[in-house]
Copies of this chain bind each other. A is one copy, B any other.
Amino acid sequence: MAEPKERPVTLRYIADELGLHVSTVSRVLNGRADARGRAASGDTADRIRRLAAELGYQPDPHGAGLRTGRSGLVGVLVPRLSDLVLATIYEGVDEAAAERGITTITAGTLDDDPTRRHRTRMLLARRVDGLVFGDARLDDAFLDELAADGVRFVLANRRSGEHPSVTPDDALGGRLAARHLLDLGHTRVAVIAGEPYASTGADRTAGFLAHCRERGVDVPPDSVVHSSFDTAGGRAAAERLLAGPHRPTAIFAVNDFAAIGALGAARDHGLRVGADLAVMGYNDTPLAAELPIPLTSVAVPMHEIGRRALEMLAVLLRGRSAESERLTPELRPRASTSGDPGTTGRAGSLAD
């Protein structure tokens, strides 16, 4: 099985074996579809392909990349790889990439400017063909610099300026959330708004507030608090809201994990979620439906966002330009806002 010579299987090897020239083999195996036909007769082409398959030939990306200047690599930058939302988006990116024979490299930036610049440099040093940013900021000098340098990239999930992006329609999502809560009769509503530099939180909040205004419901400024996008941040924010002067009857968190944190804070205050306090999240994480008290959320096609982002990048890499896309979110009402505790009434009784 294993040859004693252990000769690596390269184009030249195949060519020598068949008495052909390496360029002929190259065109048949890796050439562009139009050049493939006139490179060799159907017969020789078959012999080449057969031997290549038998030997398990795989083109060496170093050789190819050196010659073409392309690497077939794209970099994906996200705040954290352990953030479920971004991880799911990344899965979409990677899936679409694999379909195109391109490989993704991901890097975590912690939403921190120096590390993200550093990580981007590393990716560029690897000669990636393009980038997907999942951590764009509303005001993002770095992205502007990159664009000026001619680096090709698209934004996923968060938008920034006029850079091409694929995001949920967050303003609409915010409105859906507001409508849901106001339809339930709430008038004292509050928002856990996420980080101010992220378009996601900002747009969701803006949409929510706009709808409230249209319905004549006043949301005092101190009922909109910023937070990190994780449970700890959500808990702290909810704590502030519940201890403040305008204790709300309903809280909209722009992120499911922040909402889960709010759930904990509610429990600490002896409030029954769904009955005493409505809480809803955003993104419809798989966890949301499975929580002991299922969480109302706004579903966003995260996987699809990733896919589209990569497809858009692929278009850019072909030299064409692309339009930003907004994907439509959907409300998923559940027990955490309905007051319906489900099959039993005991859910909140632990706090008694």
Chain A residues near B (Cβ < 8 Å): 58-63, 65-66, 71, 80-82, 84, 87-88, 90-91, 94, 98, 103-108, 119, 121-122, 124-127, 230-232, 235, 257, 260-261, 263-264, 266-275, 286-287, 290-294, 341-347, 349-351
Contact = CB atoms under 8 A, between A and B. Distances in A.
Nearest to A345: B264
Contact of A270 (B98, B104, B346, B350): B346
Contacts of A350: 272-275, 293, 341
Contacts of A351: 341
Question: In the complex this chain forms, how many copies of it are found?
Answer: 2
Contact of A272 (B87, B94, B267, B346): B346
Please list the 10 inter-chain residue pairs (A to B) with the smallest Cβ-Cβ separation, ordered nearest first.
A231-B290, A62-B65, A62-B66, A270-B344, A58-B125, A82-B87, A267-B292, A263-B292, A82-B88, A62-B62
Nearest to A352: B341
A287 B268 contact: no
A94 B108 contact: yes
B292 A292 contact: yes
A48 to B, nearest CB: 18
A342 B59 CA distance: 61
A232 B266 CA distance: 25
Contacts of A266: 292
